[in-house]
Copies of this chain bind each other. A is one copy, B any other.
Amino acid sequence: MKAAVLHAPGQIRVVDAPDPMIQEPSDALVRVLLCCLCGSDLHPYRSRSTAPVGKWMGHEFVGVIEETGADVARLRRGDVVIAPFGWSDGTCDRCRDGLPSSCRRGGFWGASGAPGAQAEAVRVPLADGTLVKAPVTEHSALLPSLLTLCDVFGTGHHAAVKGGVGPDAVVTVVGDGAVGLLAVLSCRLLGASRIILMGRHRPRTALGVEFGATDVVVERGQEGIERVMDLTRGAGSRVVIEAVGSLPAYEQALGIVRPGGVISRVGLPQYDEAPVGLRMFVPNITLTGGTAQVRAYIEHLLPSVLDGVVDPGRVFDRTLALDDAAAAYRAMDTRASLKVLLKP
């Protein structure tokens, strides 16, 4: 089968890879209908020093069950399924605790030695715990929106949940990438009354406004901080969602959060250490968030997609064939595209 691989930093190739096969009785084989690129795929792509050459790429896919192992009880051939970005058994103490991304038997596609999801097919371990059946056909127009449940919509939702967003919340979202925009949408679904979006890419912030942002701040750094302070009458934002993962974005969040407030992070941190001393301690700032528990949110968010209440698939602004994965990476790397859909 075809699969995208990181040949060298900045070089993606679609290669002939071994067809996946059932290895364990809890496995399922999924033929990929749609997959896509994530902001986090760009980290190894851009890395000039530490990119693991030969790394399989991608961790988001919807597909059709082709075959199931002997122990798989909840799924059968022909089911259209949504796969979270990692597998989990659904039964360990951590899964029961709402932490499937920390599952004791879990792992992640394109990591943990597993192939990636930018491919024609994927072997899914612990299929009963991992996959969620979607009540649609493989020709459904909803597939792109269902695909966002694999990672980016669930990650935006996670940011809002961990930030404690509820009715009438005032939230600032730092970052106008797909995660930031879907954090905006999630905040709206949770009843936030004011959603300030910080971003400088006009078409993206325009989509953010359609998703529910009430204010857009294009300024960055100290100017951006002052702008948010003005918008909140000097109080700052009680909840700040940091949807980038860079140190400047973290600093931005720290600058605009109000005393007693929360910074909820969902951008994969590109730093090891950051300021958490007196600047955070004295005003009682809480730092929370982390790897999203996307598996735990799929059933919760699915009805809003099926009912057409939301259309998170709008974050995809380009569709390419899997064969054109290299062009897809270039488009996202140069910000020519917000998020690229790949069709095997």
Interface, chain A (partner B; CB < 8 A)? 93-94, 97-99, 101-102, 162, 235, 259-260, 265, 268-269, 271-291, 293
Which 8 A-B pairs rank lowest in CB-CB distance, beginning with the nearest?
A: A284-B290, A102-B259, A272-B277, A286-B288, A273-B273, A287-B287, A281-B290, A269-B277
Contact A276 B283, beta carbon cutoff 8 Å: no
Given known pairs A259-B102, A276-B274, the reply for A291 and B286 (CB within 8 Å) is: no
A280 and B273 contacting across the interface, CB-CB below 8 Å: no
| A93 nearest in chain B by CB position | B235
| Chain B residues whose C-beta falls within 8 Å of the C-beta of A293 in the assembled complex | 284
Q: Are A277 and B281 in contact (CB under 8 A)?
A: no
Distance A283 CA – B273 CA, assembled complex (angstroms): 16
When the two chains form their complex, are residues B291 and A260 in contact, meaning their CB atoms are under 8 A apart? no
Q: How far is the CA of A94 from the CA of B97 in the complex (A)?
A: 34
Please, how many angstroms separate the alpha-carbon atoms of A287 and B268 in the complex? 17
A-B contacts, 22 listed (Cβ < 8 Å) = A93-B235, A94-B259, A94-B260, A97-B260, A99-B259, A102-B260, A162-B284, A268-B281, A269-B281, A271-B277, A272-B279, A273-B273, A280-B287, A281-B291, A282-B290, A284-B289, A284-B293, A285-B290, A286-B286, A286-B287, A287-B287, A288-B288
Cβ of A235: which chain B residues have Cβ within 8 Å of it? 93
Identity of the chain B residue whose Cβ is nearest the Cβ of A284 in the assembled complex = B290
Which residue from B268, B271, B275, B291 sits with its C-beta under 8 Å from A284?
Answer: B291
Q: How far is the CB of A59 from chain B (nearest CB, A)?
A: 14
CB-CB under 8 A from A290, the residues of chain B are 280-285
Could you tell me the distance in whole angstroms from the C-beta of A74 to the nearest C-beta in chain B? 25
- Taking CB atoms, residues of chain B closer than 8 Å to A278 are 268-269, 272
Alpha-carbon distance between A275 and B288 when the two chains are bound, in angstroms: 14
List, in ascending order, chain B residues with CB within 8 A of A268's CB: 278, 281
CB distance from A318 to the nearest CB of B (A): 29
What is the distance, in angstroms, from A240's C-beta to the closest C-beta of chain B? 14
Tell me which of A162, A265, A271, A280 has the highest count of chain B C-beta atoms within 10 A of its own C-beta: A280
> Whole-angstrom distance between the alpha carbons of A259 and B97 in the complex?
9
A269 near B276: Cβ-Cβ < 8 Å = yes
Asked if A273 meets B269 with Cβ closer than 8 Å, knowing A283-B290, A284-B102, the reply is no
- Docked CA distance A26–B284 (Å): 27
Task: Look across to chain B and name the residue whose beta carbon is closest to the beta carbon of A293.
Answer: B284
